[in-house]
Amino acid sequence: MSTIIELESTISKLAARGKGILAADESTPTITKRFQAVGIESSEETRRTYREILMTTPGCSQYIAGVILYEETLNQKTSQGIPFPEALKNTGILPGIKVDKGLVHLANSLDEQVTQGLDGLPERLTEYKSKGACFAKWRAVYSISDTTPSKLAIKTNAEVLARYAAICQEHGIVPIVEPEVLIDGDHTLARCEAVTEPVLHAVFNALYRHKVKLEYIVLKPSMVINGKTCPQKASIREVAEATIRVLKRTVPGAVPTINFLSGGQTSEQSTAHLNAMNQLGNLPWNLSFSYARALQDYCMKTWLGQAKNIAAAQTAFAKRAKLNSLAAQGKYTEAMEKEEVSHA
Ligand code: 5MM
């Protein structure tokens, strides 16, 4: 199959209206931190079991088009002995893979970071593809302070994101391009808007210079929102309007789908914001989700590492998946939070 046909086939499934992406690609230190917060031991087996709970939730393929895996999970099997990528494909869900190798200090910056992992990426993509991965993910982060993100951080991360995306497309792998403006800090919504616009502008400028075909990418941005400790909390509508304003100014209509990260918002906020954006209407792209915490929080807290809680944990995950699927179509209401979700 030619790479263009592969890219077309993958993006058409990822951009399906009303479906989103589950980010289950926490690195081992991150999932360990999340497990420890609720008293779950982190071992290769507990991580495998937990990810099997998510991926085998009955009915979730109605809402989830793809799952981003961490390398460990790509190489693991379900309790039936089926490799996870194959198990996902059997239910109509595409397996993806996190390919960045995390954050390192950006030299000559004030505590800013750049994402590493370009060395050896072509070889790793070939291996991941042979194991079933159809798409990839790379995350860059930008922190907001009075002096950051600096021009250096904006330009360097954009360049690296574009190089990653170009390499993926050469291998017939759809790249998720994830520039995350962090929610940490006391900045206002207006400051987040002022930062997010140049960040996205630089990313699309770099994608253009590296000849990345915008028709075959997924953009995974953060929403434009006030910092976590900002005393002025923006309303749902303000977040939706500011986010769409920035996206319309910076993201070409050739991009088929924008799938947000949740970035430390609660599950309910993430759903309500996505819904409000879709209700604004008149959008040139599909607008959906690629959440980790906002999809998983209730599931993990319900499971607690105990077999007797698995069914309830899957119900909790299916509920968030369904509500976000509705939000991706502008059909969610707050009242639905109280309803029981039948999903199978
Ligand atoms: C799953 O978490 C990903 C980061 O992993 P590491 O920091 O462990 O490498 C992250 O990229 C995630 O996919 C996105 O930030 C979306 O997650 P949230 O929780 O923000 O929705």
> Among all residues, which ones are annotated catalytic?
178, 220
Report the atom number in ligand 1 closest to the C-alpha of 263.
20
- pLDDT over 70 at 344, yes or no: no
CB-based burial label for 41 (10 Å; 0-12, 13-18, 19+): exposed
Ligand 1 pocket at CB < 6 A: 23, 25-27, 30, 102, 139, 180, 261-263, 291-294
Tally Cβ neighbours within 10 Å of residue 93.
22
Output the residue whose Cα is nearest ligand 1's atom 1.
26
| Ligand 1 mutation target, pool 139, 143, 267, 296, most atoms within 8 A of CB | 139
CA of 26 to the centre of ligand 1 (A): 6
Q: pLDDT digit string (tens) for 300-335?
A: 999 999 999 999 999 999 999 999 999 999 999 999
Q: pLDDT digit string (tens) for 149-171?
A: 999 999 999 999 999 999 999 99
| Ligand 1 mutation target, pool 21, 22, 26, most atoms within 8 A of CB | 26
| Ligand 1 mutation target, pool 22, 25, 181, 184, most atoms within 8 A of CB | 25
Candidates 129, 25, 121; CA nearest to 69 is: 25
Q: For residue 35, what pLDDT is reported?
A: 98
Distance CA 294, CA 306 (A): 21
328 phi-psi bin (left φ>0, alpha ψ -120 to 50, beta other): alpha
Identify the helix (H) or strand (E) that includes residue 138: strand 135-142
Output the residue whose Cα is nearest ligand 1's atom 16.
261
Output the residue whose Cα is nearest ligand 1's atom 14.
261
CB neighbour burial string for 147-162, b if at least 16 within 10 angstroms, e if fewer: ebbbebbbebbbbbbb
CA of 333 to the centre of ligand 1 (A): 26
3-state secondary structure of 144: coil
Q: For residue 343, what pLDDT is reported?
A: 54
The average confidence (pLDDT) of the chain is 97
Per-residue DSSP letter, 77? B
Fold designation for 3-338: TIM Barrel (3.20.20)
CA of 250 to the centre of ligand 1 (A): 23
Full-model pTM: 0.98
Q: pLDDT digit string (tens) for 205-241?
A: 999 999 999 999 999 999 999 999 999 999 999 999 9
Tokens 């031991």 appear where? 41
Q: For residue 299, what pLDDT is reported?
A: 98
Tally Cβ neighbours within 10 Å of residue 309.
16
Q: Residue 5 contacts by C-beta under 8 Å, 6 or more apart in sequence?
A: none
- pLDDT over 90 at 100, yes or no: yes
Query: 139 - beta bridge partners?
Result: 178
Tally Cβ neighbours within 10 Å of residue 22.
30
Prior bond of 149 cis (ω within 30°):
yes
Tokens 């239910």 appear where? 91
